[in-house]
Amino acid sequence: MTFPKDLKYTKDHEWIRVSGEEAIIGITDFAQRELGDIVFIDVDTVGNEVAQDEVFGTVEAVKTVSDLFMPVTATVLEVNEKIDGSPELVNQDPYGEGWLVRVKLDNPADVEGLLSAADYEAQVAV
């Protein structure tokens, strides 16, 4: 399992990669393994501001469904078009091509409060 150092993480298994006022968000390698084969990403919040820890969508695996939580308050700009037709990208490349949404951050400094790669790894190692 990998935990890229340049990302921030949530206890709910999302990651966020910030660039300026925007960021992209996905689910972690640990999360995709736990979910198994992912078949559908359902995000109905494009254009909306979603508060920190609120649900911005759901990820459907063959056997289970899991909510997606917003790491920090942000407005959803777009969903990764590629995962619409190829949701397996989330399993294959969770930190790369399998990213989920691009957002505009309310306050980029909020990200500092999230988990580091080491903190997150320690959490899922238990």
Partner 1 sequence: MIKNTALTDLHIALGAKMVPFAGFNMPVQYSGINDEHETVRKAVGVFDVSHMGEFILKGSGALDLIQRVSSNDASRLTDGKVQYAYLPNEAGGVVDDLLIYRIDEETYFLVVNASNIEKDWDWISKYNTNGVTMKNISDETSLFAVQGPKSADVLDSLTDMDLATMSYYSFAKGSFAGVDNVLVSATGYTGAGGFEVYVANKDARKVWDAIFEAGAPHGIKPIGLGARDTLRLEMGFCLYGNDIDDTTSPLEAGLGWVTKFTKDFVNAEGLKKQKEAGLENKLVGFEMVERGIPRQGYAIQDGNGNVIGRVTSGTQSPTLKKSIGMGYVALAHAKEGTELYIAIRNNPVKAVVVKPPFVK
Quote the least distance from Cβ 33 to partner 1, whole Å. Answer: 8
Supply the minimum distance, in Å, between the C-beta of residue 78 and partner 1.
Answer: 18
User: Which of these, 11, 12, 18, lies nearest to 74 by C-alpha position?
Assistant: 18
Give the nearer residue to partner 1 in terms of CB position, either 59 or 105: 59
Q: Does 54 bind partner 1 (CB under 8 A)?
A: no
Q: Does residue 58 belong to the site contacting partner 1 (CB under 8 A)?
A: yes
Closest approach of partner 1 to the CB of residue 17, in Å: 26
Residue from the set 2, 51, 53, 62 that interacts with partner 1 by CB under 8 A:
62
Could you tell me which of 106, 96, 97, 38 has the C-alpha nearest to residue 71? 106
12 sits near partner 1 (criterion: CB under 8 A): no
**Could you tell me if 117 and 7 are in contact, meaning their C-beta atoms sit under 8 angstroms apart?**
yes
Q: Does 42 bind partner 1 (CB under 8 A)?
A: yes
Which one, 60 or 97, has the nearer CB to partner 1? 60
Q: What's the rounded Cα separation, in Å, for the pair 6 and 24?
A: 12
Tell me the C-alpha distance between 97 and 36, whole Å. 17
> With binding defined as CB under 8 A, does residue 65 bind partner 1?
yes
Q: Is 37 in the site for partner 1 (CB under 8 A)?
A: yes
Q: Where are the beta strands (DSSP E) in the chain?
A: 8-9, 14-19, 22-27, 38-42, 49-50, 55-61, 65-69, 74-79, 101-105
